[in-house]
């Protein structure tokens, strides 16, 4: 991490051993900082931040069957979590049903399997959807899962204007770093614009997208790359919505973001502050947003899973505490803290509870929530904020010079940049230049045995049986008619969510909905090499 010129940050920017007032000599605090809750929101998006109440404490959960996940959600609510965050298994994320050949071996493994309205009903059984906020980590089929959630809420008697939560719905980062895409980028943007318009009318309190840098960071993006590529993607979503006829101040207040929190606490705090300032300026100066809520960068944070180690896993408790503290000092609106055993397997109930307790200790046993933006005016943090802002703006411009985020994705630009950064970090770990405690230094001769939580392989067979029963019981003619109506909307310009909701209410499966759209829009085929 150090070279002949001194220490370097995660973004490969120089870190001085001493910072003093000269770093801020040409600095206008009013234009660079403003007041908390005021443009350019460097100091936070709300005037009081955590002095009135803490951030939303989320725990990301979902595994196996909907019934098992429902039991875990009830445990988390009893433990004091203020919001649920749903993990879906890979077949669900890719728009396949659990009984399709491609899903074999992956059902219920990295999240919960949701194939139909029946599964979603079980997932949220007994949970008051008018009182909890739900975040769903789902992208290409985000519209499907959102509509299933709305249908379950309606069965509870909860109106759309009472529902609060977020769907990730950020498919552009899938082409860059993660891979759970379905349709080509331009068709995916059309679907996202339809979601914006639908929620404006039907679910006005719902966050329609959580534009994510987290997964790019997990793939190796530096803090500068994380916010630059995330905000470049966000600009593309704004343009797509405007092209669909939406006014920026009608949809922008419901945009939200999703970032990582690493153990490099000072740079992470600076990163979050820089991201807010950049986004405020982009929305005001480039897109003409006049509503202050359109200019606010509100974000959820998850601690860095890529920094967790299977070696000496209890050390991850310390890493997560530092990462969570960085997110709070950086002004996050909600936070998920990883469980210490996630580098080994799905978290146990005890580990998930400890992760939540970490947030509660930060909120209620420290003094960091007693004042807004504790690092404001810090020589080092303000200098880092400026440097990250400058570097991120330069990288955003490189994306724009290539025609915007979609064109840059098609050229492989973002993916290549992230891969180079990941390679640099791995070389530093392999050489010992970068210390990872318990991995390349401070190791132990014999690791303690650890009994991880495992998913029962019988789950796949049970999901298949449920799907067979569903297809035998439902009105299949009504399903086919609704899917045909969905395809007609996809071929034209009508909003596809209205016929999609009718199909799902008729108990069409998520896979059937995705296949209907595949037939019209096709699927994305990535370039083999760049």
Question: How many whole angstroms separate alpha carbon 259 and alpha carbon 414?
Answer: 17
Phi/psi class of residue 220: alpha, beta or left (left: φ > 0; alpha: ψ in -120 to 50)? Answer: left
Q: Which of 390, 382, 380 is nearest to 16 (CA)?
A: 380
Q: Outline where 437-491 has alpha helix (H).
A: 458-473, 476-491
The dihedrals phi and psi of 83, each to the nearest 5 degrees, come to -160, 145
The pLDDT of residue 515: 98
Chain-centroid distance, C-alpha 288: 26
Rg (CA), the chain: 23
The token duo for 78 is 């009893």
Question: How many whole angstroms separate alpha carbon 274 and alpha carbon 331?
Answer: 11
CA dihedral 327, 332, 336, 340 (to 10 degrees): 0
Residues 6 and 16 sit within 8 Å (Cβ to Cβ): yes
pTM: 0.89
Question: What is the length of the chain?
Answer: 530
The packing angle between helices 379-401 and 413-431, to 10°, is 140
Could you give the angle at the alpha carbon of 249 between the alpha carbons of 175 and 398, nearest 5°? 40
Residue with tokens 């802002």: 389
Q: Which of 122, 125, 8 is nearest to 64 (CA)?
A: 122
Reported as half-sphere exposure (CB side, CA atoms, 13 A), residue 407 has a value of 8
CA distances 158 to 130, 152, 162, 338, 499, Å, are 6, 9, 7, 31, 21
Residues 191 and 496 sit within 8 Å (Cβ to Cβ): yes
The token duo for 259 is 């970032």
Question: How many whole angstroms separate alpha carbon 154 and alpha carbon 152?
Answer: 5
List residues bridging with 441 in a β-sheet: 437
Question: How many whole angstroms separate alpha carbon 242 and alpha carbon 221?
Answer: 29
- The CATH number of 2-431, from 3.90.50.10, 3.30.70.100, 3.20.20.240, 1.10.10.10, is 3.20.20.240
Q: Outline where 81-184 has alpha helix (H).
A: 90-94, 117-123, 142-155, 172-173
Burial of 392 (0-12, 13-18, 19+ CB in 10 A): buried
Question: How many whole angstroms separate alpha carbon 299 and alpha carbon 226?
Answer: 13
The pLDDT of residue 109: 86
The token duo for 104 is 């074999």
* One pLDDT digit (tens) per residue for the chain, 530 residues: 444 457 999 999 999 999 988 877 667 777 788 899 999 999 999 999 999 999 988 766 666 789 988 988 888 788 777 678 898 999 999 999 999 999 999 999 888 999 999 999 999 999 989 988 998 989 999 999 999 999 999 999 999 999 999 999 999 999 999 899 999 998 999 999 999 999 999 999 999 999 999 999 999 999 999 999 999 999 999 999 999 899 999 999 989 999 999 999 999 999 999 999 999 999 999 999 999 999 999 999 999 999 999 999 999 999 999 999 999 999 999 999 999 998 887 788 899 899 999 999 999 999 999 999 999 999 999 999 999 999 999 999 999 999 999 999 989 999 999 999 999 999 999 999 999 999 999 999 888 777 776 767 788 999 999 999 999 999 999 999 999 999 999 999 999 999 999 999 999 999 999 999 999 999 998 765 44
CA distances 358 to 153, 338, 370, 500, Å, are 31, 10, 18, 40
Residues 76 and 350 sit within 8 Å (Cβ to Cβ): no
């Amino acid at each position: 991490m150090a070279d002949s010129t001194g220490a370097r940050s995660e973004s490969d920017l120089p870190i001085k051993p001493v910072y003093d007032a000269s770093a801020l000599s040409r600095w206008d605090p009013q234009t660079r900082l403003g007041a908390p809750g005021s443009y350019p929101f460097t100091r936070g998006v709300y005037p009081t931040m955590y002095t009135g109440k803490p951030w939303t404490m989320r725990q990301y959960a979902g595994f196996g069957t909907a019934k098992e996940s429902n039991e875990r959600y009830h445990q988390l609510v009893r433990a004091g979590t203020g919001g649920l965050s749903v993990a879906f298994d890979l077949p669900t994320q890719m728009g396949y049903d659990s009984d399709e050949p491609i899903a074999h071996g992956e059902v219920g493994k990295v999240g919960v399997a949701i194939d139909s309205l029946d599964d979603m009903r079980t997932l949220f059984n007994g949970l008051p959807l008018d009182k909890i906020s739900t975040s769903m980590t789902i992208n290409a089929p985000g519209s499907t899962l959102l509509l299933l959630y709305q249908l379950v809420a309606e069965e509870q008697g909860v109106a759309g204007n009472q529902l609060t939560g977020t769907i990730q719905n950020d498919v552009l980062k899938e082409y860059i770093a993660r891979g759970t895409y379905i349709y080509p980028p331009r068709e995916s943007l059309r679907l996202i614009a339809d979601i914006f318009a639908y929620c404006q009318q039907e679910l006005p309190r719902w966050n329609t997208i959580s534009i994510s840098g987290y997964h790019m960071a997990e793939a190796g993006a530096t803090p500068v790359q994380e916010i630059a590529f995330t905000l470049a993607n966000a600009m593309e979503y704004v343009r797509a919505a405007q092209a669909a006829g939406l006014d920026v101040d009608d949809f922008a207040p419901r945009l939200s973001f999703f970032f990582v929190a690493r153990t490099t606490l000072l740079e992470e705090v600076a990163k979050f502050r820089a991201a807010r300032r950049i986004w405020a300026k982009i929305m005001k100066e480039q897109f003409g947003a006049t509503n202050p809520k359109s200019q606010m960068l509100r974000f959820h944070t998850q601690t860095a899973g890529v920094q967790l180690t299977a070696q000496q896993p209890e050390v991850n408790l310390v890493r997560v505490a530092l990462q969570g503290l960085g997110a709070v000092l950086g002004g996050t609106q909600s936070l998920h803290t990883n469980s210490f055993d996630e580098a080994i397997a799905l978290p146990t109930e005890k580990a998930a509870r400890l992760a939540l307790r970490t947030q509660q200790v930060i909120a209620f046993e420290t003094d960091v929530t007693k004042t807004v933006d504790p690092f404001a005016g810090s020589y080092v943090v303000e200098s880092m904020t400026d440097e990250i802002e400058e570097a991120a703006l330069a990288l955003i411009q490189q994306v724009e010079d290539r025609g915007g985020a979609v064109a840059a994705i098609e050229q492989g630009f973002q993916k290549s940049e992230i891969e180079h950064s990941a390679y640099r970090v791995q070389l530093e770990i392999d050489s010992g230049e970068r210390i990872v405690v318990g991995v390349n230094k401070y190791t132990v001769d014999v690791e303690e045995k650890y009994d991880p939580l495992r998913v029962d392989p019988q789950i796949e067979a049970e999901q298949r049986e449920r799907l067979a029963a569903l297809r035998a019981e439902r009105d299949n003619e009504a399903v086919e008619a609704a899917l045909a109506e969905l395809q007609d909307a996809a071929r034209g310009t009508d909003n596809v969510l209205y016929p999609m909701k009718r199909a799902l209410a008729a108990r069409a499966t998520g896979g059937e909905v995705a296949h209907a759209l595949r037939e019209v829009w096709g699927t994305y085929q990535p370039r083999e090499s760049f």
